[in-house]
């Protein structure tokens, strides 16, 4: 993203965002509530179009592309509100997300079993309406939909929010394995233990701008920088 501005109605949310997400890494986007993190993800996905600036993906400008075209190019998005289809079953939600499959039988069986290994309730409740799942199970489904087929870039907005520690553990393990497969991940996350466990690089936002970019390990080691950028210490969240 270079010099990206985004307006939502009369509101000017992003004020010239400059952000690079290295391929094959996990980049964590941090910042206080209202800093512009969700708007950044939605702008990349084309849900809220940039009013100024450029968004490039694999060297091609996509800021004027429609969301379905961005998704078809290998980008997946897990929104904070999960966005699952509550009246459809777990199976039907995953079939819809699997672009190359017309039915569940056409989904890569090995990949499904790989997903079930991280998120067992997806197998247990395969034929259950998604609306009947617990909050944590709905979050599992939202992530499962994003990874049911290989994606090159995954945008994830606060996936650990409200989750039990055991589910967070499985989620971290899943995202680590995706990173090992060279999947690029842009992660918005308020759980700092999860952020430092996953992040290779970090960008901190404030008032619609990126005010810091660097390696996550360096931010973890520098408590003064944490206080200056975030108003807190990551060490306080052990």
Question: Do you know the residue count of the chain?
Answer: 238
The answer to whether residue 237 scores a pLDDT higher than 50 is no
Contact present, 48 and 36 (Cβ < 8 Å): no
- Residue 234: the pLDDT is 57
* Tokens at 228, concatenated: 């200056």
Say if residue 100 is exposed, middle or buried (CB neighbours under 10 Å; 0-12, 13-18, 19+).
exposed
* Tokens at 146, concatenated: 């994003």
Dist. CA 72–CA 40, nearest whole Å:
19
- Residue 232: the pLDDT is 65
Residue-wise pLDDT tens digits, 1-18? 999 999 999 999 999 999
- Measured in degrees and rounded to the nearest 5, phi and psi for residue 160 equal -90, 0
Residue in the structure block whose two tokens are 């592309």: 65
Nearest to 27 by CA among 217, 168, 187: 187
Residue-wise pLDDT tens digits, 58-67? 999 999 999 9
What count of other Cβ atoms lies within 10 Å of the Cβ of residue 58? 12
Buried b (16+ CB within 10 A) or exposed e, 116-143: eebbebbeebeeeebeebeebbbbbbbb
* Tokens at 148, concatenated: 């049911």
Q: Where are the beta strands (DSSP E) in 62-129?
A: 75-78
| Structural domains for the chain | 2-74+151-237 (3.40.50.300), 84-150 (no CATH)
* Tokens at 214, concatenated: 């660097």
- 195, containing H or E segment: helix 192-198
pTM of the model: 0.92
Distance separating the N- and C-terminal Cα atoms of the chain? 32
- Residue 235: the pLDDT is 52
Q: Which residues contact 3 (CB under 8 A, 6 or more apart)?
A: 16, 17, 18, 52, 53, 54
How large is the average pLDDT for residues 62-80? 95
- Measured in degrees and rounded to the nearest 5, phi and psi for residue 77 equal -135, 130
Residue-wise pLDDT tens digits, 168-221? 999 999 999 999 999 999 999 988 889 999 999 999 999 999 999 999 999 999
Provide the CA 119 distance to its chain's centre, in angstroms.
17
What count of other Cβ atoms lies within 10 Å of the Cβ of residue 8? 13
């Amino acid at each position: 993203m270079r010099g990206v501005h985004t307006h939502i109605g009369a509101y000017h949310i992003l004020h010239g965002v400059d952000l690079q997400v290295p391929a094959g890494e996990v980049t964590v986007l941090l910042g206080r509530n209202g800093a512009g993190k969700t708007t950044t993800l939605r702008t990349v996905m084309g849900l809220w179009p940039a009013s100024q600036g450029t968004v490039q993906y694999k060297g091609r400008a996509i800021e004027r592309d429609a969301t379905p075209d961005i998704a078809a190019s290998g980008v997946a998005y897990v929104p904070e509100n999960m966005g699952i289809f509550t009246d459809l079953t777990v199976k039907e939600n995953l079939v819809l997300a699997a672009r190359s499959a017309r039915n569940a039988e056409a989904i890569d069986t090995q990949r499904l079993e790989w997903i079930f290994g991280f998120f067992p309730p997806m197998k247990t409740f395969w034929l259950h309406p998604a609306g009947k799942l617990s909050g944590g199970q709905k979050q599992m489904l939202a992530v499962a939909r994003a990874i049911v087929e290989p994606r090159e870039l995954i945008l994830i907005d606060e996936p650990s929010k409200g989750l039990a520690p055991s589910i967070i553990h499985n989620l971290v393990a899943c995202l680590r394995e995706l990173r090992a497969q060279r999947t690029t991940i842009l992660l918005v996350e308020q759980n700092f233990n999860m952020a430092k466990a996953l992040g290779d690089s970090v960008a901190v936002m404030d008032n619609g701008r990126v005010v810091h970019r660097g390696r996550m390990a360096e931010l973890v080691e520098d408590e003064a920088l944490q206080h200056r950028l975030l108003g807190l210490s990551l060490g306080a969240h052990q």
